[in-house]
Amino acid sequence: MAEVFKAKAFGSHGFEKVLAIKRILPELARDAEFENRFIAEAKLTVALTHANIVQVFDFGRFGGSLYIAMEHVDGPDLAALISAWTRKGQPIPMSASMYIGMELCKALDFAHRRGVVHRDISPSNILISREGEVKVADFGIAHTLAESQGALSGTRRIMGKWPYMSPEQARGEKLDARSDLFSVGVVLYELFTGTRLFPGSDVQAIIKSLHEMEIPLPSALRPGLPPALDGVLGRALERDPTKRYPQAVALLRALTEISYQSTLVATASDVASVVEEAFAPSASAREEAKAPSSELIDDIIRSELLGAEGGGESEQDVRVTVKAGPPTVFRPSEPEGTGGAVLVRREVGDDGITVWELDAGEKARIPSVQVHAEVKRPLGSRPPVLVASALMGALAVGLVGWIVRRSSSHEARMPDAALAQAYLRIEGNPGASILLNGVEWREKAPTTVPVPPSDAVRPHAIEVRLPGFRPWRDPGVVVRADERLVYRPQLEPMVGTLIVQSEPSGAVVELDGHGLGETPLIGIEVRADDRPHSLRVRKNGYVDVSEEIRVVDGKTIVINRRLEPLVRYGTIDLFAEPWAEVFLEGRKVGEAPARGLKLPMGRHRLRLVNPVQHRETVIVVDVPSKRPYRVSLP
């Protein structure tokens, strides 16, 4: 689906940052399905800010292809780490394996609590840094629980890696967090034992094993594993989702308990040592890392932008003046003898996608912030085209002079006050309403709002609203003339808390047909969308309990129900002399004589009454019964 480049962002005062840039493959760049999937990955991942998830810094379009600028993790993926230790003829040490497993659970717990199911948990998507950090990557086929609730229609598309997907994922069914936990179980099984659980490349054979194979105990493959680990991995690998751990935090707690019980110290240092032992850098690699790159990233950018237009062989130093403002434009100063310049323009479309493109249009009307950079570039008879180091820095971590404002205030002052106008740029959260000083702006996010300058005495108040999310507010916006503040608010979903208990416990809880786990369920977060939800509590041998609930943001709903045993019925033949009415526990259940009298199964005391002759008696019967009961009333 994509290719990944190692890149370096350059900034002022010698700032440098290594990044990874993931770009959709050129042959797929014009495929709407792949583009939509790539966009969905960026939108999902940018909201998942967690130490155990690879971070996204920027997203846009460059040279005709979509890209995602991401955190660079210096180290192997888990598949490479397992293979390296397998070649050594040793399993990965227990302490490192335990730490990797616990950190993986932390990442998924964070994603699941925000309604995101990864669907592609496998060793190749778990990155391990040389410092011992564990990070989940590649949310390319992830989806939200809300998407999962949609009806399945037409052809079911099964996506993921067959040896690591859950049985329900292999069947193309609706998925929830428990599907990821099955995949985690498969990964942990391989991590702790050094043996793949469902090996091979034949899809049908893997599917058959996935549904039918008896899973060997991990301790049988690797002596010395804590005995409790067999039970923990066994529950994670249950074919029935209702029997698995309901949440990643429950699996994390189970692994932590094993670590404590086994006095096993599991730290990032243990993982770092395992990586170092398997992937110690060679002397040549260390020397290469010290040497300057022969192909600077600026050259790559220039070749991308100008590849179709050609260029000469000569070189010339060009002093660049970068001007920032609405819109953001990078423009080179024109050397003598040239007839014009080509602009590199950065814009953000209505869908929130950053676009970098060449633009030979008119000069931009922008405030003047001067940022100088020197670049060498090939020149022919054509006017020079600016692609400076600032472009790569902007591509990866934001623009020079571009201010990103999250929950705290980070402002940049533009010194030229020639324009008595200021700008507020609201990015992310497509479709959100923007209120400035209580008045709704005519455009939805992402958008730019021109505002009069403000100060601390009379600041602006800005609010971002999106259905299903808590409003985001900043009542003290100070923006001076010619300033441009960019907000990228992280809206929190409106959620309520659900507590479900039952007597007896162990009942399956479903909300709108989606399984939440087994009772007792404590502190389950549910989206508060101001609509009725159907809650069902069921347990084999007991009558189902169903009721309607409404989830209110910030409120806790407590459901505590005693389940009634499910009554099963049988029949008896009962002949009474003379006739009689039949009562069970004070309730009339029929008249005798009767064949096939329907009664609850078990032993019961029946009272037979003839109200005309004032006769009655009590008998004990077993239901069902093949022998007839004959009674003469006294």
Count of alpha carbons within 13 angstroms of residue 569, beta-carbon side: 6
622 is catalytic: no
> Distance between CA 600 and CA 569 in Å, rounded?
4
Q: What's the token pair of residue 493?
A: 């979903």
Which residue pairs from 200-206 have beta carbons closer than 8 angstroms and sit at least 24 positions apart in sequence?
A: 200/163, 203/162, 206/162, 206/163
Q: Are strands 371-379 and 314-323 parallel, antiparallel or unpaired?
A: antiparallel
Torsions phi, psi of 510, nearest 5? -125, 140
The backbone region for 154, taken as left when phi is positive above 0, alpha when psi lies in -120 to 50, beta otherwise, is left
Question: How far, in Å, are 10, 68, 398, 406, 485 from residue 427 at the CA level?
Answer: 24, 16, 12, 10, 11
Residue-by-residue DSSP string for 485-524: EEE---PPBPEEEEEEEEESS--EEEETTEEEEESSEEEE
Q: What's the token pair of residue 604?
A: 């019961």
E strand or H helix that includes residue 407:
none
DSSP label at residue 53? B
Q: Are 315 and 383 in contact (CB under 8 A)?
A: no
Q: What's the token pair of residue 45?
A: 């991942």
User: Residue ranges of the alpha helices (H) in 371-411?
Assistant: 389-397
Query: Any residues with CB less than 8 A from the CB of 121 and at least 6 apart, and which?
Result: 104, 108, 136, 164, 180, 183, 184, 187
Q: Is 127 exposed, middle or buried (0-12, 13-18, 19+ CB in 10 A)?
A: buried
Q: Are strands 16-24 and 447-451 parallel, antiparallel or unpaired?
A: unpaired
Give the position of tokens 């740029």.
425
Give the position of tokens 């019967």.
621
Q: Are 66 and 35 in contact (CB under 8 A)?
A: yes
Q: Is 499 exposed, middle or buried (0-12, 13-18, 19+ CB in 10 A)?
A: middle
Candidate list 120, 180, 298, 482, residue with the active-site label: 120
Q: Which of 222, 372, 281 is nearest to 74 (CA)?
A: 281
Q: Which of 226, 210, 206, 208 is nearest to 218 (CA)?
A: 226
> Distance between CA 215 and CA 232 in Å, rounded?
13
Give the position of tokens 């971002």.
464
Q: Which of 503, 536, 533 is nearest to 520 (CA)?
A: 503
Q: Which of 176, 166, 43 is nearest to 113 (CA)?
A: 176
Strand partners for 99: none
Torsions phi, psi of 573, nearest 5? -100, 125
Give the position of tokens 């990797």.
100
Query: Any residues with CB less than 8 A from the CB of 282 and at least 6 apart, and which?
Result: none
> Distance between CA 627 and CA 328 in Å, rounded?
93
Q: Are 393 and 325 in contact (CB under 8 A)?
A: no
Active site residues: 120
